[in-house]
Structure 1
Amino acid sequence: MPEKHPDSPYISAKEEWFERYGSYITSRNQWRAAALIMALTVCLSLTINIIQAMQHKVVPYVVEVDKLGKSVAVKRADQAEPVSARIIQAEIANLIVNWRTVTADIGLQKKMVQRMSSFVIGAAQGAARGWYQANNPYERGQKFLVEVDIKGIPLPVSSESWRIEWLETVRNHSGVAVSSTKYEATLKVRISPPTTDSQIIRNPAGVYVTELSWAKLLEQ
């Protein structure tokens, strides 16, 4: 117990106050410190959760194809297997058909343009856009139709590039052939697994064409 000072009532009163209320003050300060630590912990936890939610997460999928190489099913997998050459060949062939076909059915034509656009990125996207600007399929469809016949499966020319040939037959609206022209194209392909639901629907195999060049074949 603190020593009393009878000659100084003020000091005695101060010592008595500290003796009675000092423990309360100490306890209050301890609770404040604990509450502050808890608040900082909650803020830190929320910040980490927000950062994790904002990060892009890649979800692997397995794409099943039929005998023609068309995508028929998509499944989640812990580890997605590499995209086979057959799938790449099928997607390239589909891209050419959707790109160069001209039909009088405006609804179908629009879907074909959208499908083609889902597979081209980078320089290939610019090349396709330039083609559509110079050869508007909706305007062409009012005068004639273009049928695309793929000549053989696409063949690899390097680890990333593929070559494909096709025949374009132009017909009038009576079905009479006006002309036939053979073409070839070289496409550079990149595989990017889908990460969103929209990408899974539009391009489930993640096959993208990054470069695209084409020309008429001399032998007609």
Structure 2
Amino acid sequence: KRPQVRYADTPQPATPYQAAAQVWDERIGSGRVQAKNWRLMAFGCLVLALLMAGGLVWRSAQSIVTPYVVEVDKTGQIRAVGEAATPYRPADAQIAYHLAHFITLVRSLSIDPIVVRQNWLDAYDYTTDRGAAVLNDYASKNDPFARVGKESVTVQITSVTR
């Protein structure tokens, strides 16, 4: 037997049509109430999902990444850490090191063409677009690959002044 759900006492039907409607409501009414409840729950879940999706879109639009500048010495030890939000000013020693390394990459010449190519590619990593154009002009005037195998050049930087 099915459970009877009664919310209030129903008055006695006055006509046969009301009696038929009451029987119909008793048979189908419970299913309709359950369907209405499930429908409300589904719409509630839809609203909740839309709110959560909106929250995720809002959260993804916020920038929470903070870049850091980490200074590492030759042995791999970390020497200084700071946020990149503050203007980073390299020290004179850092400028001197990278300038000397750039000059070594451009001016040294190995007997191995693969090493020469890699040195030039590393030198291009240091430059901007305008600097790359100047480096291209220098390479066209002083072709380093024309002398590969004939001679080798080792660069030793003695001092760098500002």
**Taking structure 1 as the reference length, what is the TM-score of the superposition?**
0.50
Name which of 11, 30, 39 aligns with 2:49: 39
Name which of 71, 79, 83 aligns with 2:83: 79
C-alpha deviations, 1:162-189, integer Å up to 9, x for none?
xxxxxxxxxxxxxxxxxxxxxxxxxxxx
Higher fraction of strand: 1
Q: 1:20, 1:149 → 2: CA distance?
A: 93
SS in 2 for 1:63: strand
Name which of 109, 112, 120 aligns with 1:113: 120
Contact 1:2–1:15 (8 Å) recurs in 2: no
Q: Which residue of 1 aligns with 2:15?
A: 7
* TM superposition shift of 1:143: 4.1
* TM superposition shift of 1:136: 2.6
Contact 1:5–1:11 (8 Å) recurs in 2: yes
Name which of 67, 71, 77 aligns with 1:63: 71
Q: 1:127, 1:26 → 2: CA distance?
A: 76
Q: State the superposition RMSD in angstroms.
A: 3.7
Q: 1:133, 1:58 → 2: CA distance?
A: 42
Q: 1:7, 1:103 → 2: CA distance?
A: 111
Matched, 1:27 2:55: no
* TM superposition shift of 1:12: 5.8
Contact 1:62–1:77 (8 Å) recurs in 2: yes
Structure 1 residues 3 and 60: CA distance shift in structure 2, 3 A: same
* TM superposition shift of 1:57: 4.7
| Max Rg structure | 2
* TM superposition shift of 1:62: 2.4
Q: 1:56, 1:136 → 2: CA distance?
A: 48
Structure 1 residues 151 and 24: CA distance shift in structure 2, 3 A: same
Q: What amino acid maps onto 1:140 in structure 2?
A: R
Name which of 135, 144, 149 aligns with 1:137: 144
Matched, 1:98 2:101: no
Q: What amino acid maps onto 2:40 in structure 1?
A: Q
Q: Which residue of 2 aligns with 1:182?
A: none
Q: What amino acid maps onto 1:135 in structure 2?
A: N
User: Which sections of structure 1, spanning at least 5 residues, go unmatched?
Assistant: 66-70, 156-220
Moved over 6 A (4+): none
Higher fraction of helix: 2
Q: 1:133, 1:79 → 2: CA distance?
A: 41
Contact 1:103–1:109 (8 Å) recurs in 2: yes
User: Which sections of structure 2, spanning at least 5 residues, go unmatched?
Assistant: 1-8
SS in 2 for 1:73: coil
